[in-house]
Chains A and B, each alone.
Chain A
Amino acid sequence: MSSLLARAVRTGIRSPLSSRLHQPMAAIRFQSTEAKAAATATEEYDVVIVGGGIAGSALACALASNKASSTLKIALIEAFDLSNHIKWSPRPDQYSNRVSSLTPKSVSFLKKIGVWSELDSSRVAACEGMQVWDGVSGARITFDATDVDGVQSSFLHQVFSGNIPTPPGVNNSTNQENLDGSKEASPLAWMTENLHVQYGLQKQLVGHQARGVKLDVFEKTKVQGITTEQGESAQPQGDWPAVQLDNGKTLVTRLLVGADGVNSPVRSFAKIESLGWDYSQFGLVGTLQIDPSTSTAPGQGKGIAWQRFLPTGPIAMLPLNNGYASLVWSTTPKIAQDLKKLPARDFCALVNAAFSASPAELEYLYKNIGPNGEPLVDFLKEIEWRTSVHDQEASQTMIRGGSSSQGDAKPPRVVDVQENSRAPFPLRMRNSSSYVEDRVVLVGDAAHTVHPLAGQGLNQGLADVECLARVIETSLLSGSDIGNIHSLTPYSSERFLPNLAMLGTVDKLSKLYNTDFGPVVWARSLGLTAVDKMGPIKNEIMRFAMGLEEPSKRS
């Protein structure tokens, strides 16, 4: 996205009038102290959002939908094409490989800003349950949406958001409605392509522009530099950040929002440190075609998400519509690259094996992928042999009524993988030391990055955006300068701890399952099996992951 920038300090004095004169000259970075006229075409904004991804666009949308903040002058800067999203018309037999799971909290936010109704329900799949198991020991935990108590707000959420918590189990019987007003159980999450959400967002933005909101979208534009004046405070907008674009314009803004991803230039400008580490794992995504009739789960596994923790990393299959599924396989960098190059037939066989074979068996197959991705042994034959050995033992064990691991539900078989849909990306964990600075605020991946194993990344970003839009609205109604750090502190207070908690939890989970060391496996399997039997705790975990909490009572 935006290229990295160098910070320069300008010590010019700008006359208050000159900001309104448009002098179409080439952009220059440095001004002499005596220059009074503006050397670049400078425009004033109240909010400049750098980054038109889902988080940035959602923020623009939320600001434009709120009563007071829709009067703000907003700019959205994006290096790629945004208008293309509106023209998105996908084929029913093709799914983009970038799919996200949206929690009920995120969905209610999208409903609030009018995006949810723009989406095509035939390309949104509900996830009603999850099956998660240990690839080494087979210990399993299942989550079912029908078990979730949709009313009570999550205890953990209350703790982290600073409200006085009500104890778990206390049921508020006066309100039995779910987030979406329906009475039946809400799914755990909804799966849809990121492009789909962008489609809804961009349509809404265009609609807002049409009804008069001062929202300027600078697409296909890169940020060349961000500067701020330091020095005499007597200048109007003296401490406002100035964003220099590669089309010659400079935007001076009251509040600068960094929604520009993990290598955020806005964060560098604000000198906010980003702490964290890179996992030695890559995530491989892909679109799979599955045969639902091969699943042994009830309902042919419709709407069930499957995740198996292998020592190299978790492999997850997320349900889409029409017999498609999205694959997210976190594994070592080498294996991820090899998987990308495998022929489709062998890849599908390997994915199927990854959900059932032992790690040692998979190890053998990984080792036998050649430098160009060609399998060095007959994958299908090998996998078939191992499967037959397992099945035979399984059937014997079933007869004798032994351990129940053979009675567990199996995921559907993968029959095909969509061409060119396999893509690896590096996994990392990052948290910024602070989300706010004077006149700068970070949202989404710019603020924090998380391992995808819990499907929370996008949801955290949307929660950030929802909170920030609300905080800006409140500041406006208090007459505050929205860029003042005191106006931004409530956002940081509300989001920092929950994000940290989520990051920490997911990170520990990924480390816990990254090993096949005996005692650790034993301990974690014991824990998992135990939690699987404890309904209230599972309930709490589900609600925490779903982001269910009481509506905020802030004025």
Chain B
Amino acid sequence: MASIGRITARITRISSPHHVLRRSILQPATARFLTTTPRTFHSHNSFNDTTTTSNNNKEDAIYTVNKEEIAKFAAMSDEWWAPQGPFKMLHLMNPPRIRYIRNRLHASGALSKNGAFGAESGKEEFPMGRFPLQGLSILDVGCGGGLLAEALARLGAKVTGLDASIENIQMARIHAKKDPLLNGVSAPGSLEYRHQTAEQLLEQGNQFDVVCSMEVIEHVENPAGFLKVLGQLVKPEGDLILSTISRTPLSYFLTIFAAEHVMRMVPVGTHHWSKYINPDELHKGVEELSKCEVLNIQGIGFNPLSGQWELTRSRDGSGSTEAGLLGLLGPPLAEASNYFLAAKKPAAVTIPADGSS
């Protein structure tokens, strides 16, 4: 997800999103093979960022900052969330992501156990058709502006969004206020943002029914440690869903050559090809480090003809339920660039106290 450090500089370069409201639908999506969010970031050292304090009170977080700051974050938020703005590809990617998560949770049986996990007594019954994720607690590590978190909350989940960048958290909080469906009252979903690292959260003893981390692991300094922490954050019999980019010539071509150098959609240096992780490697890492059983790996690609991201066929043969051209692609071509991985934590896995696997 977007971990946007220095976005102020970029805002002056990019035109205001309000100007892009009127557009012709027939313009083909200018071939933005942008596969992940552009970001500049300050380095993460195993998420041990001690310079910022964890802040659980979202209301205070906004109102302790002065009005100019609010305006700045609000402008940032507008920029980030502008549907035709610089993060358009990310916005387009969100619905397939959500559908993937929903389908995987359904397939792994998480949805049928609604209500048994972290049930909030006193909440009224909400229709399952509209809120399939109600009763689940979900953690989004590296939530960025909150795109995935908001969608999950709208589907009824109790979502915690985590990001190490205070700007992201502020933006996400500001935007979340705009939709009454996310206020935790009118619908089963709720949203909470924390300016913390995953380790800090783990130290506080939290565990979640579902842990998601979308396109974060390829930016992390210590991916192995990251996987371990994620695995520990998942409750027993919970789900872990990751997405990242494969380390193949194709992914180099698309995400670095095309996106960074040719079309300049992403600042050079955002991605490091050497940090990409192949599906098999991730599979092994999840099994050994996160101690979760991998259930599914599925690719996702951008189809310029339809202007949408589309899921490809997955390894276990479960076809894409969407009628897209890319649904014809099967592994290994399907996983040559962006892909998802879904895993499930077995019941009651004991983790040795010393942290070694």
A and B touch in the complex (CB under 8 A): yes
Residue numbers of A with Cβ under 8 A of B are 16, 44, 67-68, 71, 162-164, 230, 232-239, 271-272, 433-438, 474-481, 484-487, 489-490, 492-493, 496, 552-555
B347 at the binding interface (Cβ < 8 Å): no
- B325 with A67: CB separation less than 8 A: no
B94 at the binding interface (Cβ < 8 Å): yes
Chain B residues, Cβ within 8 Å of A239: 178
A-B contact list, 14 entries, CB within 8 Å: A71-B127, A234-B178, A236-B177, A236-B180, A238-B178, A271-B22, A433-B24, A436-B25, A478-B98, A479-B150, A481-B179, A492-B25, A496-B26, A555-B322
Please, how many angstroms separate the alpha-carbon atoms of A484 and B147 in the complex?
12
B205 at the binding interface (Cβ < 8 Å): no
B122 at the binding interface (Cβ < 8 Å): no
Chain B residues, Cβ within 8 Å of A164: 325
- B129 with A163: CB separation less than 8 A: no
Chain B, interface residues (CB within 8 Å), range: 35 or more
Can you add 15 more A-B contacts, CB < 8 Å, to A437-B21, A553-B321, A553-B323? A67-B129, A162-B305, A163-B323, A232-B71, A233-B174, A234-B70, A234-B74, A239-B178, A271-B22, A434-B25, A435-B25, A436-B25, A476-B130, A478-B151, A486-B83
Chain B min CB distance to A472 (Å): 12
- B99 with A555: CB separation less than 8 A: yes
Please, how many angstroms separate the alpha-carbon atoms of A434 and B25 in the complex?
6
B275-334 residues with Cβ-Cβ distance < 8 A to A are 305-308, 321-323, 325
Chain B residues, Cβ within 8 Å of A232: 71, 74
B102 at the binding interface (Cβ < 8 Å): yes
A233-B130 CB under 8 A given contacts A438-B21, A554-B323: no
Chain A min CB distance to B78 (Å): 5
By beta carbon, the residue of chain B nearest A491 is B25
Please list the 4 inter-chain residue pairs (A to B) with the smallest Cβ-Cβ separation, ordered nearest first. Answer: A479-B151, A553-B323, A67-B129, A555-B321
Interface residues of A, dominant DSSP: loop
- A481 with B154: CB separation less than 8 A: yes
A493-B306 CB under 8 A given contacts A71-B127, A233-B78, A553-B323: yes
- B130 with A71: CB separation less than 8 A: yes
- A67 with B178: CB separation less than 8 A: no
Chain B min CB distance to A29 (Å): 22
Residue numbers of B with Cβ under 8 A of A are 18, 21-26, 70-71, 74-75, 77-78, 83-84, 91-92, 94-95, 98-99, 102, 127, 129-130, 132, 150-155, 174-175, 177-180, 183, 305-308, 321-323, 325
- A233 with B98: CB separation less than 8 A: no
**Chain B CB within 10 A, most for which of A234, A433, A493:** A234
- B154 with A480: CB separation less than 8 A: yes
Please, how many angstroms separate the alpha-carbon atoms of A44 and B25 in the complex?
29
Cross-interface CB contact of B22 among A162, A434, A477, A553, cutoff 8 Å: A434
Chain A residues, Cβ within 8 Å of B130: 67-68, 71, 476
Please, how many angstroms separate the alpha-carbon atoms of A128 and B131 in the complex?
46
Please, how many angstroms separate the alpha-carbon atoms of A232 and B18 in the complex?
12
Chain A residues, Cβ within 8 Å of B153: 479
Chain B residues, Cβ within 8 Å of A487: 95
Please, how many angstroms separate the alpha-carbon atoms of A554 and B329 in the complex?
17
- A480 with B71: CB separation less than 8 A: no
- B74 with A480: CB separation less than 8 A: no
Chain A min CB distance to B92 (Å): 6
**Chain B CB within 10 A, most for which of A230, A237, A478:** A478
Chain A residues, Cβ within 8 Å of B71: 232
- A233 with B74: CB separation less than 8 A: yes
- B95 with A234: CB separation less than 8 A: no
- B83 with A434: CB separation less than 8 A: no
A236-B179 CB under 8 A given contacts A434-B22, A437-B21, A486-B92: yes
By beta carbon, the residue of chain A nearest B153 is A479
Chain B residues, Cβ within 8 Å of A237: 178-180
Cross-interface CB contact of B306 among A44, A162, A438, A555, cutoff 8 Å: A162
- A478 with B99: CB separation less than 8 A: yes
Please, how many angstroms separate the alpha-carbon atoms of A546 and B75 in the complex?
49
Please, how many angstroms separate the alpha-carbon atoms of A68 and B129 in the complex?
5
- A485 with B323: CB separation less than 8 A: no
Chain A residues, Cβ within 8 Å of B74: 232-234
Chain A residues, Cβ within 8 Å of B178: 233-239
Chain A min CB distance to B18 (Å): 7
Please, how many angstroms separate the alpha-carbon atoms of A413 and B40 in the complex?
79
Chain B min CB distance to A35 (Å): 18
Chain A min CB distance to B194 (Å): 20
